[in-house]
Amino acid sequence: MARKFFVGGNWKCNGTAEEVKKIVTTLNEAEVPSEDVVEVVVSPPFVFLTLVKSLLRSDFHVAAQNCWVRKGGAFTGEISAEMLVNLGIPWVIIGHSERRALLNESNEFVGDKVAYAVSQGVKVIACIGETLEQREPGSTPIAEKVTNWENVVLAYEPVWAIGTGKVATPAQAQEVHCELRKWLNDNVNSEVAASTRIIYGGSVNGANCNELAAQPDVDGFLVGGASLKISDVLSFIVPLV
Ligand SMILES: O=C[C@H](O)COP(=O)(O)O
């Protein structure tokens, strides 16, 4: 089964409304492959979600960077999956290594969040850890709790590559992605293993994206820094035509 290439731009905790509008304008004016070929999703900070959604071209989509683990309520500062649905935000990033490291999000908590968001109809970019010792316990709660894998993209992001300029080699990325696909085969089922997109994140830019994209098990990217730069934001989408 062909897996549609996925390009996610994670803007993290960056930008002003004016800067965000400039990036969106650049994206809107670009000639890019059809959405049948590449799925493009940008993830602004929460406060800009509605702004970006209202301005962004209709063939690109918007993701939140986090959501609460279950139904909303007395959880100050949180945003629920139901709210994302209410706003028409189709995607959410869950379990990014920055949240795992800085906010102590555990594997179980991340697994519960992924399952709850999917149960509410929000599609999830689920980020998992770097080493085999981290990847397996990180993936197990997701595998145990998620029933609808159609709405999950797995993002492999080696911590040493995030924001450092040290990108994994295509061979390193392929090795881990292949191992993850085998893990899905053994722990979920062969259909999910064949159809789930496994994307790579960590210092992706226009110069290294094509070689990474050529790997059979690299189904896309989650891009941080380069997705915020007007000069770079198209560089990892357009070459994929
Ligand atoms: O979510 C994106 C990743 O953390 C990668 O960030 P980066 O492209 O700035 O290395």
Domain count, the chain: 1
pLDDT at 106: 93
- Atom of ligand 1 minimally distant from the CA of 164: 10
Residue range(s) defining the domain that contains residue 182: 5-240
What is the tally of helices (H) and strands (E) in the chain? 9, 8
Contact (Cβ atoms closer than 8 angstroms) between residue 202 and residue 161:
yes
61 catalytic per annotation = no
From ligand 1's centre to the CA of 165, what distance in Å? Answer: 10
Q: Is the ipTM of this structure higher than 0.85?
A: yes
- Name which residue sits closest to atom 8 of ligand 1, judged by CA: 224
From ligand 1's centre to the CA of 161, what distance in Å? Answer: 8
Query: Where residue 74 sits, what CATH number does that domain have?
Result: 3.20.20.70
Burial class (CB in 10 A: 0-12, 13-18, 19+), 132: exposed
pLDDT at 241: 42
Mean pLDDT by 10 residues, the chain (241 residues): 91 97 94 89 98 97 98 97 98 96 94 97 92 77 90 94 91 94 94 97 93 95 93 73 42
pLDDT at 238: 63
pLDDT at 222: 96
pLDDT at 231: 82
Dihedral sign of CA atoms 32, 219, 9, 187 in order:
positive
List phi, psi (to 5°) of 52.
-65, -45
